[in-house]
Amino acid sequence: MVYGIERILFTSFVGLVMLAALFVAKDWPIRASIIIFLLGGVGVVLALIQLIIDFRAARVKEAKMQRPTFEVEALQHQGRWGSLEIWAWLWGLFFAVHLIGMPIALPLFVFLYVKLYGGRWATALILTAGTWGFLYGIYDHLLHVPWPKPWLAFLLPS
């Protein structure tokens, strides 16, 4: 039942995003808003149909209702923390990139991930060196990419 409510909330969210897009685009010139009116209009109708399907599915116990075949198989939870774990890593990396910069955050992420999940020192060091070498060799040395200034730049050696 909780899963059914989650589905309804997600479908509602998608429908609301479409509605918001239509509302925002209503004052735009037709050249800019035409595609939003077309896709948003169709999207809102399809979201409503999906919402009806979700409500009907939620009413059936265990949500075992026959669903249209154009839907794909839903992802099953891998334990309570299964999804949260990888999301924590991704958001951690995202904030680390902002805090200490990409050239440090990415190799650090690779090293920590390999070591914390039981990888050998050799594997961790080779992958870390590969990532750092790629970043430094291609982006820094060859392309001279201007790395954005990290938030903690004042703590890092220049």
Burial 114-129 (b: 16+ CB within 10 A, else e): beeeebeeeebeebbe
Kindly state whether residue 158 participates in binding another protein, applying the rule CB under 8 A. Answer: no
The helices-and-strands tally (H runs, E runs) of the chain is 5, 0
- Asked if residues 18 and 44 have their Cβ atoms less than 8 Å apart, the reply is yes
Q: Take residue 106 and report the two structure tokens written for it.
A: 């990415």
Q: Which residue has the tokens 């923390």?
A: 81
Kindly state whether residue 79 participates in binding another protein, applying the rule CB under 8 A. Answer: no
C-alpha 158/C-alpha 155 separation (Å) is 9
Residue from 16, 24, 34, 88 that binds another protein (CB under 8 A)?
A: 34
Kindly state whether residue 99 participates in binding another protein, applying the rule CB under 8 A. Answer: no
Kindly state whether residue 110 participates in binding another protein, applying the rule CB under 8 A. Answer: yes
Q: Cβ 30 to another protein, closest distance in Å?
A: 8
List residues binding another protein (CB under 8 A). 6-7, 10-11, 30-31, 34-35, 38-39, 66-75, 83, 87, 89-91, 93-94, 97-98, 102, 106, 109-110, 113-114, 117-119, 123, 127, 130-131, 134-135, 139, 145-146, 148
